[in-house]
């Protein structure tokens, strides 16, 4: 891959950010400004920012933006975020930003930035990364920790965890460059095109939650034997971002609109595994067909009312009220992953739907959750399309996609 040319007139010599990233950067700087005015401490300031271990250009731009704020808390914040970086680009940008703050009269202690140390056989900090897959509909996800082989005696720790059952497996691999490419190709072949890179401590917190809840699950012993080294190099679970603070906020006045919009999330490939399978949805598709073919003379409005009743029955059966907390927790995590992708509007939508699912007072109202309605509606549409491919028929489509206002088309 060719090295990206540095753009002129950009902070730190970095290439221009995409429009979404520019907006995210401006939003974070505005939040930092407000927090500084209110006297927030270092920990609170850190929660407002999202460094990206996989994107040095983003980190350089973030440093430059913070360096434009001549506040005494900024040097310590910069070092807390980037002081452990060992790559030349980040290290150089950090030193340059601290020097710039000095020229603006901001006090920067001479010993604030840790000295670079090189120890033979000891991995440098900042070289450990983490990757997570989307959460599947059964509550499973893959957690992959990558780091120098001298840390764990392997460079990839691959864990499959379930949010209700703990570890499914935990395998330590030592892959060479060609094998690494084959490893990621295998994930893509399984349909896992999207893999997220949260702060490593967040991935560790997911592993730790699975371990503490189910210490006897398969693979838990492998993780348990390595967990102290994992804490040392990938971060302790208690330092993971708090989703309540990390996620884009939801304005109460927008809640109704966001809940309505959540129905369209069912169309997103990230949620394909959350859809009911063909065997699960077929009985309800048959009931919808019976409404359409009823010998009674029904108006379109009457058919719609009956179809909505069938749809609500399907939601109650496929996503029963007692499982709502599970779906809400998973959806909140997915809201964080959408945020990591820079899709903050979709993240806010998912967060609103997750809060609705987690509300115990709405436990008996599963059919009213628009996200669940979208999943069932889209699954029915796919099943109807598959049926039409096998048995072509004339007439209007029976089921509309979740981004349409009606279930039965006129």
Q: What is the pLDDT of residues 378-404, one digit of tens each?
A: 998 888 888 878 776 645 555 666 766
**pLDDT band of 86, cuts 50, 70, 90:** confident
The residues, ordered by sequence, that sit 6+ positions from 309 with a Cβ below 8 Å of its Cβ are none
Q: What is the reported pLDDT for 397? A: 55
| pTM for this model (two decimals) | 0.66
The answer to whether 246 and 201 have CB atoms below 8 angstroms apart is no
- The rounded mean pLDDT for the chain is 84
Dist. CA 325–CA 359, nearest whole Å? 8
Q: How confident is the model at residue 5 (pLDDT cuts 50, 70, 90)?
A: very low
pLDDT at residue 303 in the model:
73
Q: What is the pLDDT of residues 174-226, one digit of tens each?
A: 998 889 889 888 888 887 778 899 999 999 999 999 999 999 999 999 999 99
Residue 135: name the closest of 377, 327, 339, 352 by CA: 327
- Residue 229 to residues 128, 188, 224, 241: CA-CA distances in angstroms? 11, 29, 10, 20
Query: What are the b/e assignments for 308-334, b being 16+ CB within 10 Å?
Result: bebbbebbeebbeeeebeebbbbbbbb
Residue 268 has which token pair? 């997103």
213 neighbors 329 (Cβ within 8 angstroms)? no
Cβ neighbours around 46 below 10 Å, total:
16
**Taking 90 as the threshold, does the pLDDT of residue 258 lie above it?**
yes
Task: Tell me the longest C-alpha to C-alpha distance in the chain.
Answer: 86
pLDDT reading at 120 higher than 60: no
CA torsion through residues 186, 190, 192, 198, sign:
negative
Residue 362 in this model has a pLDDT that exceeds 50: yes
What is the pLDDT at residue 321?
87
Question: Which range in 52-61, 77-86, 200-209, 390-399 is most confidently predicted, on average pLDDT?
Answer: 200-209
């Amino acid at each position: 891959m060719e090295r990206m040319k540095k753009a002129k007139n950009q902070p730190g010599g970095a290439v221009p950010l995409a429009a979404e990233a520019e907006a995210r950067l401006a939003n974070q700087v505005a939040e930092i400004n407000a927090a500084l005015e209110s006297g927030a401490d270092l920990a609170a300031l850190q929660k407002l920012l999202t460094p990206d271990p996989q994107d040095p250009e983003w980190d350089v731009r973030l440093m430059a933006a913070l360096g434009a704020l001549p506040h005494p808390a900024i040097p310590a914040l910069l070092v807390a975020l980037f002081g452990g970086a060992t790559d030349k680009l980040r290290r150089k940008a950090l030193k340059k930003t601290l020097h710039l703050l000095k020229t603006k009269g901001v006090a920067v202690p001479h010993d604030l930035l840790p000295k670079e140390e090189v120890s033979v056989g000891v991995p440098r900090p900042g070289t450990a990364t983490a990757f997570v897959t989307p959460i599947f509909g059964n509550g499973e996800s893959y957690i992959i920790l990558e780091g120098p082989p001298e840390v764990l005696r392997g460079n990839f720790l691959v864990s499959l965890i379930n949010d209700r059952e703990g570890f499914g497996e935990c395998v330590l691999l030592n892959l060479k460059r060609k094998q690494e490419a084959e490893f990621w190709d295998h994930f893509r072949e399984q349909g896992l095109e999207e893999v997220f890179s949260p702060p490593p401590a967040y991935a560790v917190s997911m592993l730790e939650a699975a371990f503490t809840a189910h210490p006897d699950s398969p693979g838990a012993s492998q993780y348990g034997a390595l967990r102290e080294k994992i804490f040392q190099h990938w971060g302790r679970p208690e330092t993971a971002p708090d989703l309540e603070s990390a996620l884009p906020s939801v304005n109460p006045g927008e809640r109704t609109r966001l809940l309505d919009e959540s129905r369209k999330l069912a169309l997103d490939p990230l949620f394909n595994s959350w859809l009911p399978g063909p065997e699960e949805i077929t009985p309800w598709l048959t009931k919808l067909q019976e409404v359409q073919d009823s010998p009674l003379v029904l108006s379109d409005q009457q058919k719609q009312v009956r179809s909505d009743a069938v749809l609500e029955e399907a939601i109650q059966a496929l996503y029963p009220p007692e499982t709502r907390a599970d779906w809400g927790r998973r959806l909140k995590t997915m809201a964080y992953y959408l945020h990591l992708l820079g899709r903050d509007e979709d993240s806010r939508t998912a967060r609103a739907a997750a809060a609705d699912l987690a509300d115990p007072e709405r436990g008996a109202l599963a059919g009213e959750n628009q996200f669940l309605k979208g999943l069932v509606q889209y699954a029915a549409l796919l099943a109807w399309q598959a049926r039409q491919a096998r048995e072509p028929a004339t007439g209007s489509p029976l089921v509309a996609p979740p981004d349409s206002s009606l279930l039965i088309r006129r």
